Structure 1
Amino acid sequence: MKAVRFHGKHDLRIDDVEEPGELSPDQVLVRPTFCGICGTDLHEYDHGPTWTSAESNPYSGAALPQILGHEFSGEVLAVGNAVTSVSPGDRVSIQPQMGPREDYFGRRNLPFLGPNASVVGLSWPWGGMAEKAIIQESNAVVLPSDITDQQGALVEPAAVGVHAVDRSGVKPGDSILITGAGTIGAMAVLAARASGVTNIFVSEPNAHRRERLQRMDIGVTVLDPLSTDVAAHIRSTTLEGIGADAAIECSGNGRAFSTCVDAVRVPRRGRSSRADARKD
């Protein structure tokens, strides 16, 4: 079968690889239907290997060359004899992180935080950029009938935005700054709006991305950091000039991180705004 495999920096190939073999009792065979290209994939191609490795992953055994793709949906083709939550024919969204269940983190249902964790499409033998992939049962979530396969591929990046907003601690009526309006930034914006945040400020230098957010018409203040002092604008429009209640950096840009630090308010417990920004 065909698979997109990363061999090393600037070395990406469409390879012929062997079909998946026999499933373990807790494994699921899927046919990927939609697969996103994450910023992590782009960084891996331009600057890697970073998350991939020539050395075998201690949990999964994966090593370069690596089949990419960790944001994807698929159709279940077959299941191991101990699988109960999905069946052949189900449409599923793939949640890519996994790890052993026997160590400190695994026993606390946080296996993806352990030192031997693995990620589908980065440190697992299979990925979404292939005709077939084997995953663990715990990584397959059945899609409701009103969710499309394309939307199913967006569940993982959407979860990143939801998690960031949840960790920020914002409440209905609060304000938030989000720097970067790529996929993750846009997902954070939607999560913030769903959480009842009143004032959502977005800093984005790319005109196309700013226009896309404005077309969504969800009451977001979109700012161009190349022509606007974002932190000063936020302080001038928040009560008593206090600044945003929280800030989420989604661009990976040092200047944007500094803007988050400058724009966020002093925290409730009296620590500096810089400490609050790091926490958020």
Structure 2
Amino acid sequence: MSLPIAFALTLSLTTQSAVVGLAAPPPGVFAAIAGTTPARVKVEVSGFEEPTVQALTNQAEEAIRGEGIAESTDNEDPIIDVKIVAMGEYGDEGYEITIDATGGGRRLIDAPVRGACELCTESELAERIRKEFGNVRPQVVAFVEERDRQRAAAEAERLRQEEEARRAAAGGTGTPEGPSGPPETGPTDQTPKGMGTPGKVGIGLMAGGGVAVAIGLGLTLNPDKQRSEDIGYELVSTRPPGIATLAVGGAALITGIALFLKDRRDRQSQAAVAPMIGRGVAGVSVAGRF
């Protein structure tokens, strides 16, 4: 499975001042890029001995993760509760399954989803968990998307207020009138300097980070493959290294943006930075006087 990735660094000439703002990405943003939703998964197993409890716990967690749920430790992310109870007097007649989801101090679904998997193997149990979770996942995704929209709106408002305060402290928001006489030809304090080392390093980090994000996305979205037909049904996953590469690339991208903006501030010019994040696209657009 492949996904076209575009990394864009746009430098456009302008004579208008622009707001400079760099906000840290909300938790789970790189998981969102990869098409997953961050959530905490809690599994409770009863009616089985300890080795079986651990095995069933792992099965349930992997089943939920396989449905596009990224592992999270953020206390503000939703919680997915999975309960597995043994059926029968001796616990050998199957499994009773209950799945619930909460977030923001409330239940995300009308009522817990319940199901029974009679005389199932562990692999069949995992498939049944995926099926039942399909009734819960849309509400979990909707909750995270709405929460992230509210976070983004609050951050945008904070940056707007900071910019207004900065302009007010600088003596107004209007564009100063130009001189009536001919412009000076000699160098002045307002003459833009050449790009400094932080700016150059920042551009390099943005480019490298964009490439790493693209590679990480490809590895994360690559489906599991069978190692060898001669060894049995053993799957090899590229998701763990993909997520790691995605995180490293994202960190480099953000660091590069910070260095680039610091260099622009040091040269007394303004730049506007707009992150570009979406399905198939990861990058940043930079506009200013260069």
Q: Structure 2 length normalisation: TM-score?
A: 0.22
| Structure having greater relative contact order (Cα 8 Å, sep ≥ 6) | 2
Q: Which of these two proteins has the greater Rg computed from alpha carbons?
A: 2
Comparing both structures, which one devotes a greater share of its residues to helix?
A: 2
Q: Structure 1 length normalisation: TM-score?
A: 0.23
